[in-house]
Amino acid sequence: MNRALRRISLAVLVMFVLLLVNVNYLQGFDTASLASKPGNSRAFYAAQNQYQRGSIITSDGKVIAASRLSTGNDSIKYQRYYPSGPEYAPVTGYYTIFGATGVEAAQNSLLSGNDSSLDVRKVIDLVTGKTTKGATVQVTVNSKAQDAAWNALKTLGKPGAVVALNPKTGAILAMASYPSFDPNVLAIHDGAKLNAVDKKLLTDPTQPLLNRALQGTYPPGSTFKIVTSSALLTQSPSTTINTSVDSPTVLTLPQTNNVLHNDQGEVCGDGSGQAPLITAFAQSCDTTFAKIGMQLGANALNQMAEQFGMNDANLTVPMPVAKSSYVIPPSQAETAYSAIGQFDDTVTPLQEAMFAAAVANGGTLMKPDLVQQVTASDLSTVQGMSPSVLSHAISSSVADSMKQMMLAVVQQPEGTAYAFRQDVTGIEIAGKTGTAETGTAGTGQVSPNDAVFTSFAPFANPNISVGVIIQGGGYGAAAAAPIAVQVIKAYQQAVGNQ
């Protein structure tokens, strides 16, 4: 029996050696890989406590998120705070003890000081005895444009969002969403209280946590006629903005009994059934562009929509952006609707700004980006912005035609946004309105239309393009365009154009 017992002892020895080796592997060698696994809140917590988190500032130097020593009696050393909470919430996102969103999440490793690009500086800090801090992230947002966008949305009081881009670089100049939330209420260190606040925000029917600018998708309505017109001008080089196109007052859709009217049943152009393309565009004739859409076909529309950045689920700014979709319709009648921004077309407010930006930048669509520069605590630049081309949406000659047509929307008497032609002194604004029918949202009652507006200015040398979508805002010219005009005006003042 003793021989067997000795063998059992040996087996036990093997078992314990296995355990010891495994524990050594886990805690000695595998720690880094485990720390980087998703859902490791301990690693998140550790990063949060290690260094003072860097600030987030606007391009003109306004601090929109910062960390200061926590005054509370808790184990977390620093308290995050947001000086203009709700206004910049779509940009900064929130930063809680459990997780983060927005720039706080997208640039987390740099802000927290744990990014590998900061390693050398950390060693220097160690030697010189300086306290290591997280890097400062400067976003491209201009505080004046942001103020204008946020104040306009707040005054209107309807759910919606505004995005302004620099068409030449893709820099996001303003990004506001209404209703918003105050990230300060989520920066608290009391987890139980935080959970209660979070639950309240999550169940709020007005969806304050939703960043509509990047994550909300809405029908583009007539602003999609930019895509339809671009497709026409690209496919048929002989067509100019003055070419006469079929513009019936009533259009019967093929294989259906559906009849398409223009808004309020109005006639297009002079009522002859023919109108110059630019007139139909400025007046936003549905029958004209429905017919053009059917002639071009869904595939051509789809291709142009994708060249303008739609159907891209992987766009990041660096936060992820919801996909703006053009769905190829199964029938000609539905293709007609899709050509005027109805059917299943949906876009984000950012996509609206991208429509105008591509046109304004001579047809080249720059990749939208929110991060201008990241500086380490010793003020050296860790990461700068390098504008990149997202796509060559249209040729420069087509872009010139599109610019002319968008200018007509605001500057010609028949244009849908003619009322705003003189709102910004000395600056010519070009744009396109949209009024999207959202149908009967399950209630049997017709819900108010979404107001959409995409624009750029100044016409001669565009430095800003603005996309606005207001849910239930009614006419694009009535609810969305005034907001875009205010943002443009504020930005022109900020850059000294006025």
Specify the stretch interacting with another protein by CB under 8 A; choose among 26-34, 214-222, 241-249, 427-435.
Answer: 26-34
Among 34, 120, 250, 389, which residue interacts with another protein (rule: CB under 8 A)? 34
User: CA of 473: how far to CAs of 28, 224, 261, 348, 416, in Å?
Assistant: 60, 18, 21, 16, 16
Half-sphere exposure of 14 (CA within 13 A, CB side): 6
For residue 382, state whether it binds another protein (rule: CB under 8 A): no
Length of the chain: 498
Binding mask 144-173 for another protein (x = CB under 8 A): ------------------------------
Cα angle: 346, vertex 349, 350; to 5 degrees: 110
Give min distance, CB of 99 to another protein, in A. 11
Instruction: Tell me if residue 222 is catalytic.
Output: yes
| 63 phi/psi in degrees, rounded to 5 | -80, 125
Q: Which amino acid is at 92?
A: T
Element (H, E) at 371: strand 371-375
Q: Which is nearer to another protein, 14 or 123 (CB)?
A: 14
Q: Which is nearer to another protein, 2 or 71 (CB)?
A: 2
Nearest Cα to Cα of residue 241 among 361, 374, 118, 399: 399
Q: Which is nearer to another protein, 40 or 316 (CB)?
A: 40
Q: Which is nearer to another protein, 69 or 460 (CB)?
A: 69
Binding mask 83-122 for another protein (x = CB under 8 A): --------------xx------------------------
Q: Which amino acid is at 485?
A: V
Task: Name every residue whose Cβ is closer than 8 Å to that of residue 293 and which is 6 or more positions away in sequence.
Answer: 228, 301, 335, 336, 338, 339, 340
For residue 73, state whether it binds another protein (rule: CB under 8 A): no
For residue 419, state whether it binds another protein (rule: CB under 8 A): no
For residue 382, count other CB atoms closer than 10 A to its CB. Answer: 16
* Active-site annotation holder among 55, 180, 222, 229: 222
* Site residues (CB under 8 A) for another protein, limited to 189-228: 189-192, 194-195
**Separation between Cα atoms, residue 278 and residue 213, nearest integer Å:** 30
Specify the stretch interacting with another protein by CB under 8 A; choose among 10-18, 219-227, 435-443, 479-487.
Answer: 10-18
Q: Which residues lie near another protein (CB under 8 A)?
A: 1-9, 12-13, 15-16, 18-20, 22-24, 26-28, 30-31, 34-35, 37-43, 45-46, 97-98, 189-192, 194-195
Provide the annotated active-site residues.
Answer: 222
